[in-house]
Amino acid sequence: MSKTAFVNKEQILKIAAKYPTPFHIYDEKGIRENAQAVKEAFAWNKGFREYFAIKANPNPVLVDILHSYGCGADCSSMTELQLSKALGMGEDEIMFSSNDTPAAEFVYADRIGAIINLDDFTHIEYLEKALGGRLPETVSCRYNPGGVFDLGNGIMDNPQDAKYGMTTEQTFEAFRILKEKGVKRFGIHAFLASNTVTNTYYPILAGQLFELAVQIREKTGATLSFINLSGGVGVAYKPDATANDIRKIGEGVKEQYDKILGKAGMTDVAIFTEMGRFMMAPYGGLVTQAIHEKHTHKEYIGVDACAVNLMRPAMYEAYHHITVLGKENDPQDHVYDVTGSLCENNDKFAIDRKLPKIEMGDYLFIHDTGAHGYAMGYNYNGKLKSAELLLKEDGSVVQIRRPENELDYFATLDVLPIFDTLKKEIEASKDIQISNVL
């Protein structure tokens, strides 16, 4: 199996002439087709909504595309809430699945009509105090059963080690209290495994939450209005992985729904999801140019992007496939470490990767950067964040975020006298012109 980039060399040569590398580029067509497929996969459920986990990619143009397919936003902070509100998301279109939440964020979330999903039992009282002695009409609780999440053929993840959510007993107690305090609509949320590449994760999780919903009704009298399966649906980062089939996932959840909630007469329950990665990862790529080669104890290719543009390989040793544009069909008979320029030895996009022979000036397409890519960016070593581009359905390209410049980077030093001198230095470096060095 091979992975193909959604752009070819010819396109990138044209794009790079206008927008210097590195940049993230997104595939509008792919985003739209996938969003439509998600919508159809859960169309059997009347109240279904995908709340796109905006932390995965907070570019407003992309969030807006998803919004046009009925997606809301799942937020984790004040700025994400503000962005969602500014995009025109209305009542019930914003989910606030935060943790360790400051009071001001609860107050703002409540003000804009976001659904507040409480990470802990103690947050009931905290929220009530933050809101001046009342609770919202709708409250959701985040559940963490502990133990391991097992699909029957292997452990997927370890909820017992996760900081999120309430225990089973706390969950029951939370709904008892919420009901007593006059909350009208209830929901439950759980995120028990990450980047699952299997069509069974959501169905198994759903089965557990549906059983829990029945128990919650029995034990507390609270009837849930929605069940939020959260994120965790993965993508095929590796070329030999089989991508998830969202239609099968939707059918699997429906089977559990009919079996458990159908039997309990709870067929008004809406299914919510908060996918980030699945909605966006495959539809983004980081385009970077090879600018150095080193032949020392290993073979290195140095590119003009670094971990600041894509942190996942450095942070989790995550695999991101690389296509050398224009050499898609060449033999992969070289072994390289592909590195960025940070003074950090983990700044490597690939280690011992088989690739075709790379020449200086070649463009590399690093796959699956549409989620948790640009968004995780940082400024270590004084590196600036890249632009984001959108490849539109008609083949044209628009810049949907400009690259950061030096002034952006130094902006928070405007409290110091040196700020004016920095501005002069930035001006003074603007005359640098590069002749052909590659």
Ligand X SMILES: *Cc1c(COP(=O)(O)O)cnc(C)c1O
Binding site for ligand X (CB under 6 A): 53, 55-56, 74, 76, 97, 191, 194, 230-233, 274-278, 371
Nearer to ligand X, 284 or 340 (CB): 284
Q: How far is the CB of 97 from ligand X (least distance, A)?
A: 4
Q: How far is the CB of 71 from ligand X (least distance, A)?
A: 13
The neighbour count for residue 76, using CB atoms within 10 Å, is: 17
Nearer to ligand X, 56 or 322 (CB): 56
Q: How far is the CB of 268 from ligand X (least distance, A)?
A: 24
Place of tokens 């969003």: 35
Cα 205 to Cα 51, 96, 197, 247: the distances in Å are 17, 20, 14, 16
Nearer to ligand X, 72 or 340 (CB): 72
Q: How far is the CB of 116 from ligand X (least distance, A)?
A: 12
Nearer to ligand X, 275 or 306 (CB): 275
C-alpha 369/C-alpha 6 separation (Å) is 12
The neighbour count for residue 243, using CB atoms within 10 Å, is: 12
- Exposure string of 159-182, with b = 16+ CB inside 10 Å and e = fewer, is beebebbbeeebbbbbbebbbeee
26 touches 391 (CB < 8 A):
yes
Q: Report cis status (omega within 30 of 0) of the bond before 313.
A: no
Q: How far is the CB of 293 from ligand X (least distance, A)?
A: 35
Q: How far is the CB of 55 from ligand X (least distance, A)?
A: 6
Nearer to ligand X, 97 or 138 (CB): 97
Residues 6+ apart with CB under 8 A from 386: 22, 23, 24, 286, 305, 309, 374, 377, 403, 404
In single-letter form, the type of residue at position 331 comes to: P
C-alpha 53/C-alpha 357 separation (Å) is 38
Nearer to ligand X, 45 or 195 (CB): 195
Nearer to ligand X, 277 or 327 (CB): 277
Nearer to ligand X, 105 or 274 (CB): 274
Nearer to ligand X, 57 or 289 (CB): 57
Sequence-separated contacts (24+) of 154-163 with Cβ below 8 Å: 156/192, 156/193, 156/196, 156/198, 156/201, 157/192, 157/193, 157/194, 159/192, 162/192, 163/99
Q: How far is the CB of 370 from ligand X (least distance, A)?
A: 10
- E strands, 119-251, in order: 138-142, 149-150, 155-157, 185-189, 224-228
Q: How far is the CB of 108 from ligand X (least distance, A)?
A: 18
Structure tokens belonging to residue 218: 């029995």
In this chain, which residue has its C-beta nearest to ligand X?
231
Q: How far is the CB of 279 from ligand X (least distance, A)?
A: 8
